[in-house]
Structure 1
Amino acid sequence: MKAQSEAQQKAAGAALSAKRGETPKSKLQGASKEMYETMTEKELEDMASTKHDKIPERKG
């Protein structure tokens, strides 16, 4: 699954970092916290790797 906005991509990156143990889970908030709890590491990796030039800053 690809990110639909830069904000979503950044949230996925934060959640991925926590999944890998690089960032404490307690530092997550909002969308990144929910992504951490509901998505696999592979799903987060795919979303975080979306190229910036193909997506808007915010969805909407």
Structure 2
Amino acid sequence: MPAKSKAQQKAAGAALAAKRDPKKKRTLKGASQEMLESMSEKELHDLASTKHQGKPEHVSK
């Protein structure tokens, strides 16, 4: 599942880092905290490793 925006990709990267290093969990907020709780490490990796060229900074709902 590719990221739809750079912000989503950054949040997934932060959640992935926290999943790999539990010390970083307390620094997460918002979307990255939700991603950490609801997604597997593989899903986070796939989302965070999306090419960001041509992606908007944010996508409205």
Q: What residue in structure 1 maps to residue 45 of structure 2?
A: 45
Structure 2 residue runs without a partner (length 5+): none
Q: What is the total number of aligned residue pairs between the two structures?
A: 60
TM-score by length of 1: 0.92
Q: What residue in structure 1 maps to residue 13 of structure 2?
A: 13
**What percentage of aligned pairs have identical amino acids?**
62
Q: Give, in angstroms, the shift of residue 20 of structure 1.
A: 0.5
Q: CA RMSD in A?
A: 1.3
TM-score by length of 2: 0.91
1:17-28 correspondence to structure 2 within 5 Å: 17-21=17-21, 23-28=23-28
Could you list the structure 1 runs, at least 4 aligned residues long, displaced by more than 2 angstroms after superposition.
Answer: none
* Stretch deviating more after TM superposition (10-19 or 50-59): 50-59
